[in-house]
Amino acid sequence: MEIKLLETFLTGHDVIDAEHARIVSSINSVSKTIENGQFGECTRLLDDFLNICAAHFNTEETLLAKLRYPDLEEHAVFHKELILKAKAVRVLCMDANDPQSLAKCFDEMAALLVEDVIKGDMAFVSFLIEKGEAKPRDLHVMPIPKHELPDDIKS
């Protein structure tokens, strides 16, 4: 299953959006590796995913600090929690010969991305636009159908 970076997930900030695309690409690499039965590659790809996320979180926090985002501390804690969750998912994925375990890892990674973008980053989009750091988003973009969201986000 491939994940797409939907327009509704874009922040309007070129660097942040490019990094979100890189995270999606990383997740899709894991998915493709699972589909191809190359389970031994998954640990390395999950490490890459963690490094990409950590770099992305650093980019966001640096930008938000420069702009004096009032909720930066809370957002940084949110990032730390996501990294801890991602590391826990990676531990679950150590059973590299079990396709079901790896598929669950993929689902968990996808959920982490959605959690970062929807719960975290959308909170500061209007701040970036106000500061002139992001382009205003098209408010007429179609919402994501509920069936395309991870279970923990649907409610």
Looking at residue 142, the DSSP 8-state letter turns out to be: P
Q: Which CATH superfamily is domain 12-136 in?
A: Hemerythrin-like (1.20.120.50)
Contact 48, 22 (CB under 8 A): no
Q: Is the pLDDT of residue 139 over 70?
A: no
Portion of the chain with pLDDT greater than 90, in percent: 26
Confidence of residue 145 (pLDDT cuts 50, 70, 90): very low
Distance CA 47, CA 16 (A): 20
Q: What pLDDT does 81 receive?
A: 86
- Nearest to residue 113, comparing CAs of 47, 50, 38? 50
Domain limits, the chain: 12-136
Q: Is the pLDDT of residue 112 over 80?
A: no
Q: What is the mean pLDDT of residues 107-122?
A: 75
Buried b (16+ CB within 10 A) or exposed e, 28-46: bbbbebbeeeebeebeebb
Q: What pLDDT does 155 receive?
A: 44
pTM: 0.78
Looking at residue 145, the DSSP 8-state letter turns out to be: P
Residue scoring higher pLDDT (18 or 88):
18
Q: Which residues contact 70 (CB under 8 A, 6 or more apart)?
A: none
